[in-house]
A and B are shown apart, each in its own frame.
Chain A
Amino acid sequence: MDYGIYQDKLTRIVTDIARSHSLWILAYGTGCGAIEVPATMTSRYDAERLGVRGAATPRQADVLMITGYLTVKTLKRVIRVYEQMQDPKYIIGFGSCAINGGMYWDSYNTIKQLDLYLPVDVYISGCMPRPEAVLEGFAKLQEQIRAGEARGATKYKENLDYYRGNQKKIIKNWDFPDYNW
């Protein structure tokens, strides 16, 4: 009997539980959504009890929160930040603007659909989503991680050409270093 598989499985279950209960977020505060993050973290809703906690730099973070619309300029920075994060990493798209452009549908310089450019694991709908919804989003992400479904980073690596193509289409002054994990 091969114990290796079970050992691997056990390790994965344990690490997944640990990962799901320790989500260090890098809140990329674009748009108006950033105002909901403090409310989520502070005493009324207290996201820290779920293991959610702010991280200072992308190197330390697990979750990238994109809280609203993204202009083309910001998109470049967001991609950069995402690529600097260490695996495994997840993205939470926040509010209707990240999902389909929301009220910026007709705007000339914002993107409409975030997951064309970055692999989003969880979307939180609303304009703006209330802290309850944000917590719900975290819970959803935790579920996904435990089920092994939060594979955004792998997806990004596998479909790098697709994402890069989309990114290059919209970012004109392209000067990114290679993403070669």
Chain B
Amino acid sequence: MRPASVLLAALTGLIWGVVAMVVTGVTLTLITGEIALPQASAAGLAGVVSALVLVWRQSGEGQETGLRSFALSAGIVFLVTMAATFAAPFGLPLSTVPVWQGAALIVFVFAVTAANRQCLAGARFGAMSRYEREVIYIRIAKGIGFVFFITIVALPFYVMVMTSLKSQQALLANPLDLSIDLSQGVAGLFRSYVELFTQFNFGRYLMVSAFVSVATVVLTLLLSVPGAYAVSRLRFPGQAALARSVLLIYMVPAIVLVIPLYAVFSQLGLRNTLTGLLIVYPATTIPVALYMLQGYFRGLPSELEEAGLMDGLSRIGVILKITLPLSLPALASVSLYVFMIAWNEFLFAFMFLDDPDIFTLSRGVVSLNSSEVPRQHLMAGAVIATVPVLVIFLWFERFLVQGLTAGSVKG
């Protein structure tokens, strides 16, 4: 028996007991709307006892580590938790939302047991080498990492969607109740969305955003394909310097351009127009597109193009008939990427557009951010702005991730 080894096992159990209890308790609260008071210390105690028993059994000779051992650990977690909390593990009487509480309890018990067994596999009370101890530290850190990252990413999006489905009264009564209230019917559930489309003109914003984004993609490709081809294939003085300096444009902050553009566009009458936006957006996306495309064009075998030239095609013919068909994947990822930049753009839309008839979605959602508009509308607006990009992103994730790591991302 080494005290350090015992301590390590106890600490692992403590961490998982507390983490699992807090996570299941908060999740239970958010799903049902009942304020749970997760009994973290009791759960920690249960985790410790279970972890110690687990390691004690592993330390003995000839133990079996199958289903029976799992059931034993889980049973200990369950019994200790129930005993230490007087049968109210979430600080709620068992009669409120019994099904959910039961489910949460099962998840909790299972999570603590599984996490302990994962982390403490191979642990014992006797002397352990530094290597063996570090393996356990890393398992704990990774486990906490997963819980942490999934929580911080999923929670805001969950809150966004659920808030948009609530009514004003329900939100005021209990801000923690982020359950789906089916009693208000489908129409009631989606009331905020219906109101946004009927009273707040969101259908139009959606169309404008789609138009502006697609037009930006088309303009960007039209301008950057010839440019990228020239930089990657043709020899001319200044080629190398140009290829390198393209990305410098990328470092120029939009806010520095806003004042002069605002001044000039105001005087030219371009400010409050979509034409104005369609001049500015491609200018900000062309450097990225040009950089991504020229990298791809360079990777294509130049023999194919030379063969085309030999056979009497002009340069333009070679580009249209050979280079572009070969670079469809790159064109797709550039298009998607430019589409996302244009769709998400906020600063210029906010500064330039005053007329609600030509608001993009970003601009439209900002106009919802006032004390007169209830926040479920704001969240519904946020959902409407997010869903198209996320759908596109998930659909074409492979392309996009390649495009992103191809070394050209702005944010």
Q: Do A and B make up one complex?
A: no
B residues adjacent to A (C-beta < 8 A): none
A residues adjacent to B (C-beta < 8 A): none
